[in-house]
Amino acid sequence: MRKTCKRVISALMCILILFYLVPASVAASNKAASTVKQQSQADINEILSKMTLKDKLEQMMFVSYRIWKEVPDNSQNPVVGKESGKEPVNITELNDEIKMALTNHHFGGTVLFAENFRDAEQTLRLVADMQLTNQSGGGIPLFVSVDQEGGNVARIGFGTSGVGNMALAATNNPDNARLMARVYGEELSLLGINTDFAPVMDVNSNPANPVIGVRSFSDSPDVVAEYGIAYMNGLHDTNTIATLKHFPGHGNTDADSHTGFPCIKSSLDELKKSDLIPFKKAIDAGADMVMTAHIQYPMIETNTYTSISTGEKVYLPATMSSTILTDLLRKEMGFDGVIVSDALDMAAITENFNVEDVLTLTINSGVNMLILPLVTNTQLFQHTLNITDMAVNLAQSGKISIDRIDDSVRRILLLKQKYGLLEKTNFNVTESQIYNAIINVGSKAHKDVALNIANEALTLLKNKDNAFPLNVKDNEKVLILFADNCASRVGNVDLAKKMLKEKGITLDSQISVMVNTTENSEECVKEASKADHCILVYRTYSTACLDKGTDAGFSSAVFDSIINKRHDVGKKSILVSCQLPYDAARFLKADAVILTYNSAAMRQVPPEIGEGSAYIPNLASGLVACFGKSTVKGVCPVNIPKLNQKNEISKELLYKRNL
């Protein structure tokens, strides 16, 4: 009994000690964190105090050196003319003009595009040269960024392209989003790139959306939030800055801001029930950077501007809206990081606003960093430099708020400090870095990650009378017919054959491939009718692909005829959807429908599976699955609506989202 009492008393004393010590230790920890934060702010304030107004404004700018074209000074056409006598070249190394610009102008960041990437060593040296040149002029280390979303938007031609966001959600496993993003982040870090303009947090609520589509995880806000946060965390695992885009949501548009000026007539309450949910959850989960959308929201931002091209009144887009960026994103949603504009050379901006007003409206609305027009010729190169001088003049005249500038630069510096950029002083490339980049960027191990995820994403949406998978017997013929709108995907068949051989199946002599064109439609129908087995590959990338009366949908009528004629003789057809899943509603008579969610041009197969040039494995995986060598277990992450008699999307559902 005494021993028991002693144990109880001892336990009580431990609890009392913990009761007093834990709060003290927590307080000490909080005090230490507060001290570090104060020190960080002090360091940032010291840097700010030494910066000129020009330095500050340039720190707020992303520049992009993409293509170098010599254009005569007196030319009014930004597209290079024959009078220059020189062919345009991709900027894979810095020329003297760009070096001078990076030395004399202390830009905050640079954006790389496909034209900047040749191989791993070249990329490492290009990035290092940018940082070293910037540093030689007293600049602060750059955000080096790229749009490496994965799938259709993957800029590094020798890296791992991945599978795309909708495919990630189709696996029904958020861990795959984190794993795939971690691969991207590792490869970017190996190349010296510290910022990824990803993930896309847009809710693809409009099937007619021409620019988001499979770049979105889903048409469910909660699914987008879950997978988007997992993706963001995957980048953060590799110390890569993630960027949520396109705030406050690009998923409910039927226009592309690259070529038009979208308008979403949703109220703020409607946005809060859908588009804003992923952004809010990701902000709460630790987002550092948010990219704006060049979209009009007249129910939220009522201020207008007279378009310079049409003379008509247009609403200020989110990129220029203080109501959306400051009142909503900052104050109401609590975002405390860096707001970056989408590219300011997109048609939504250039066709409606003059340059001075673009600078004034974006900065005063709360944008911290501006993505300047892409440099694709010498005129645009000079134009970019002129913009910096223009911004200084606007600030000096009081048109651009100095307080806004200081707030922006402070946020930029804090983010650079958080990711260790302020402390980095040596950007010289070592042989070890080159070796690691060559070995690991686009490695077989990384591409196997994408291949495994592509297999998990495959979704069997329909399978009438066990039409899928095929049971190909000796001497039977299989025709794989590609629609005109996916002719550039034919190389996926050769890749699929290689993958089948790895599984012990050789069907080369039994598989034939055709591409439907306006000249061979009758031949396609004839060959498809004769074949023992037929796989039809279709690509819907816009609603025009669903309409047999459009060029984009030309092959759909041919596919209808093939399906019907094969039914007439008791044969079946498998439809493989290689991009948007909405084409499942177009081919209701297909016996089986398998969704792959993404594809890209592949006219030739890489030399070895998992090596060579980048490729998106989704379609090849889908073709392999048709021969019974994959377990198809994916789920459809979007609702698929029925089509009306005009093959237009209706409000009635055909297949319901499975997530």
Closest CA to 297 of 266, 322, 253: 266
Closest CA to 387 of 64, 2, 121, 91: 64
Q: How many CB atoms lie within 10 A of CB 382?
A: 15
Cross-strand bridge partners of residue 306:
313
CB 346 within 8 A of CB 336: no
Closest CA to 258 of 217, 307, 303, 212: 212
Check if 342 is active-site.
Answer: yes
What amino acid is encoded at 474 in this protein?
Answer: D
The DSSP-derived string for 583-647 is GGGT-TT-SEEEE-------SS--SSTTSSS----HHHHHHHHTTT-S-------S-EEEE-TTS
**How many residues are there in the chain?**
659
For residues 460 and 467, what is the distance between their CA atoms, to the nearest angstrom?
A: 11
CB 291 within 8 A of CB 346: no
For residues 647 and 595, what is the distance between their CA atoms, to the nearest angstrom?
A: 20
Q: With the CA atoms of 243, 292, 362 and 254 taken in that order, what torsion angle do they form, in degrees rounded to the nearest 10?
A: 150
For residues 109 and 63, what is the distance between their CA atoms, to the nearest angstrom?
A: 6
Catalytic one of 147, 202, 219, 342: 342
Check if 55 is active-site.
Answer: no
End-to-end, the C-alpha distance of the chain in Å comes to: 59
Helices 174-190 and 444-457 meet at what angle, rounded to 10?
160
Which three-class secondary structure state does DSSP give residue 151? coil
Catalytic one of 254, 258, 383, 560: 258
Closest CA to 154 of 651, 576, 598: 598
Instruction: Give the residue numbers marked as catalytic.
Output: 258, 342
